[in-house]
Structure 1
Amino acid sequence: MKIRFKMRKLKLIFIIIIVVFAGLWAIRSYNERRFHVEKETRFMMDTYVTIYAIGPKEITSKAIDLALNRIQGIDTKFNSLNPKSPIYTFNHTLEPISDKEIINLIQTALKISEESGGAFDISIAPLAELWGFYSKEYYFPTSQEIKDCLANVGYQHLLLNNGKLTKDNMAVRIDLGGVAKGYAISEALKVLKSNGVNSALIDTGGDIYALGKKGSKLWKVGIKDPRGEGTLGYVEVEDLAVMGSGDYERFFIKDGKRYHHIFNPKTGYPTEGVQSVILIYNDPVIAQAWTKIPFIMGPEKGLKRLERIPNMDVIIITESGKTLYSSRLKHSLNLIK
């Protein structure tokens, strides 16, 4: 009798062990599926674009592919150097732009031009071309060449009526590079959400949007050192864009001085006084455009102007390497000492 009892007891213990292990395996399998990280990278918009998405592979893989396809389509349409783009046609002829998607983004850009007092300006394309930033055959123009070029720069040359964009002279050209990447991110975000993804990171060459959380934690986004390979620190974000501009992205050195691609549309020269600007905001389009403002206004004035925009946080690295940041970041910016 005792032997039978012991056998039943051992059998019961064995069954319990099997059930426990089966339960643990099921939980692990569920979590691995639920918290699976899918990743894909493509080269477009003149940079490497990577999307990380957390969730079941059958959902995230398809969503990422569709989101990257959407970014590729935007890159093709909004690239002013692409002969198939309506923007290219506008820049080289007097034919107006009537594409609704492009017009909507131009409306946003022109509004920011007005709000910034002309500091942000999509009509700087003639300057970028003069200085050789399109051909990458960099050139230091004469003061007269810059003066002549400025006659065709200024958002006031652009006329938006009845859903069409026209210009007041043939030499006026536009470049939507200051808002297109933000727009691509916002559109990719829509694709991810509509395909069941609620946790993802979109990285377009350092311009980032963090969707939801990374599991139970906030996403950590590094702040690039504009004069080095590492980072100056990081911020922790959720459902926010972290967009940046820097004098290190495209530049050349002449006589020991750095000349970069961010121009003051009033002087025609690359700006001075700021190395980089990072904005943290919920709208990547607005954030990308306003990253240019401290370069033109100067670090202190630019910081004050950006702090007037509700819920926008800013980090500015000055030419001397000093870090300025908005008051709301005092307790959430993690700087590496």
Structure 2
Amino acid sequence: MSARPTRRRVLLGASGLAAAGIAGLRAQAGARGLTVRTRAGLALGTTVSLTAAGPDPDALDAALSEGMAALRTVEHAASLFRPDSALSRLNRDGHLDAPPAALTTMLAFALGLAERTGGAFDPTVQPLWPLWSQAAERGARPEPAALRDCLARVGWRRVRLSPEAITLEPGTAVTLNALVQGHAADAVMAALRARGIADAFVDTGEFGAAGAHPDGTPWRLGLADPRRRGEVAAVIAPFTGFAATSGDYNMAFSPDFSDHHIFDPATGHSPRGLASVTVTAPSGLLADGLSTACMVLGPERGGALVARHRGCALRVSVKA
């Protein structure tokens, strides 16, 4: 699981959005009597963008404003890129009273997924990030003794969660980087739906789509090749719902990608079998969590995990 950086996004986005450009999108929508509105910015350690189409420009503007506000709410709750986020304060102090709802939702999901996967998914791998990062800066790997000491502070049962407070055992720290972008996509799409927006595409680092592209065709999602930058390995068409990807290449500690930012909580090392995993699901939170869990579990056990969740599908890229 990612400790500090976000994962380099395997998903290239909705087919036609980047190629058409804003002017092209507006022309396509206008031919159907619709208006297109977009919003973009920096959040969650990456660039984010929201696109919506509909007949009422004012309604679109209001919906996108509420969508961005919903995204910021998730960011303020759980982004490790913000030292003032609730999660950053929890890691700093070991205790947090009155945690925000977005944080308790994600952490409750994370602990549940940890239990269901026998700890293959674990939100307490955060201490492994500085250990590996500092070793990589020296051109080395962590010393076995240092790794053992670090692993003694990892374990999802070291977290106590209630609606009133969250407490960590001494030395424990939490990352929700494997969930926060997917949950942000959920929050944005919920805000758009509440405003009656039927056609939308959101990119929060993970992806959500509803309805149709401004030209009236189904949304399409291109999946980048994890080893050949800029090349599309596959296309999901039509694409609706949510998709998330985990891969070994966003933050690699070794040139051959054998050591990277996703950690097996049992060993403190990176799983070796897969280069990337993409999961489509009815929610961004579920897609995001399952994609990381599958990187650790591997294709067979990961496939069995995904199969237990209705409406989910798995795509994997095996290491060469």
What range describes the TM-score normalised by the shorter chain of this pair?
A: 0.7 to 0.9
Residues 132 and 139, structure 1, Cα contact 8 Å, conserved in 2: no
Please name the residue that 2:4 is paired with. Answer: none
Are positions 1:146 and 2:164 aligned together?
no
Shift of 1:311: 1.7
**How many angstroms apart in 1 are the aligned matches of 2:184 and 2:223?**
21
Structure 2 matches for 1:10-29, cutoff 5 A?
none
The one-letter code of the counterpart of 1:188 is V
Larger Rg: 1
Please name the residue that 1:189 is paired with. Answer: 189
Shift of 1:30: 9.6
Please name the residue that 1:265 is paired with. Answer: 265
Residues 199 and 211, structure 1, Cα contact 8 Å, conserved in 2: yes
**How many angstroms apart in 1 are the aligned matches of 2:139 and 2:108?**
31
Secondary structure of 1:219's match? Answer: coil
Secondary structure of 1:244's match? Answer: strand
Are positions 1:283 and 2:265 aligned together?
no
CA deviations on 1:124-151 (whole Å, 9 max, x unpaired) are 1101121128x98886211111100000
Residues 279 and 315, structure 1, Cα contact 8 Å, conserved in 2: yes
- Of the two structures, which has the highest relative contact order with CA contacts closer than 8 Å and spacing of 6 or more? 2
Secondary structure of 1:110's match? Answer: helix
Residues 220 and 239, structure 2, Cα contact 8 Å, conserved in 1: no
Shift of 1:248: 1.5
Please name the residue that 1:331 is paired with. Answer: none
**How many angstroms apart in 2 are the aligned matches of 1:294 and 1:29?**
38
Shift of 1:32: 4.2
Structure 2 matches for 1:182-261, cutoff 5 A?
182-205=182-205, 207-214=206-213, 216-228=216-228, 229-253=230-254, 256=256, 258-261=258-261
Shift of 1:97: 4.4
CA deviations on 1:19-57 (whole Å, 9 max, x unpaired) are xxxxxxxxx999547433222221211111111111133
Residues 131 and 138, structure 1, Cα contact 8 Å, conserved in 2: no
- CA shift in 2, pair 1:257/1:210, >3 Å: closer
Shift of 1:238: 4.9
Normalising by structure 1, what TM-score?
A: 0.79
The one-letter code of the counterpart of 2:48 is V
Please name the residue that 2:13 is paired with. Answer: none
Shift of 1:66: 2.5
Unaligned runs of at least 5 residues, structure 1: 1-27, 321-337
The one-letter code of the counterpart of 1:110 is L
- CA shift in 2, pair 1:304/1:30, >3 Å: closer
**How many angstroms apart in 1 are the aligned matches of 2:152 and 2:217?**
52
Structure 2 matches for 1:11-90, cutoff 5 A?
31-32=30-31, 34-56=33-55, 57-90=57-90
- CA shift in 2, pair 1:111/1:201, >3 Å: same
- CA shift in 2, pair 1:137/1:176, >3 Å: farther
Residues 80 and 174, structure 1, Cα contact 8 Å, conserved in 2: no
**How many angstroms apart in 2 are the aligned matches of 1:264 and 1:40?**
36
Please name the residue that 2:118 is paired with. Answer: 117
- Give the root-mean-square deviation of aligned CA atoms: 2.4
Please name the residue that 1:319 is paired with. Answer: 319
- CA shift in 2, pair 1:29/1:82, >3 Å: closer
**How many angstroms apart in 1 are the aligned matches of 2:137 and 2:52?**
35
Please name the residue that 1:17 is paired with. Answer: none
Shift of 1:92: 1.9
Please name the residue that 1:174 is paired with. Answer: 174
Residues 132 and 253, structure 2, Cα contact 8 Å, conserved in 1: no
Normalising by structure 2, what TM-score?
A: 0.83
- CA shift in 2, pair 1:77/1:100, >3 Å: closer
**How many angstroms apart in 2 are the aligned matches of 1:48 and 1:81?**
13
The one-letter code of the counterpart of 2:271 is T
Shift of 1:301: 2.3
**How many angstroms apart in 1 are the aligned matches of 2:208 and 2:257?**
33
Residues 243 and 287, structure 1, Cα contact 8 Å, conserved in 2: yes
The one-letter code of the counterpart of 1:249 is N
**How many angstroms apart in 1 are the aligned matches of 2:88 and 2:29?**
50
> How many residues are aligned here?
289
Shift of 1:88: 1.8
Secondary structure of 2:127's match? Answer: helix
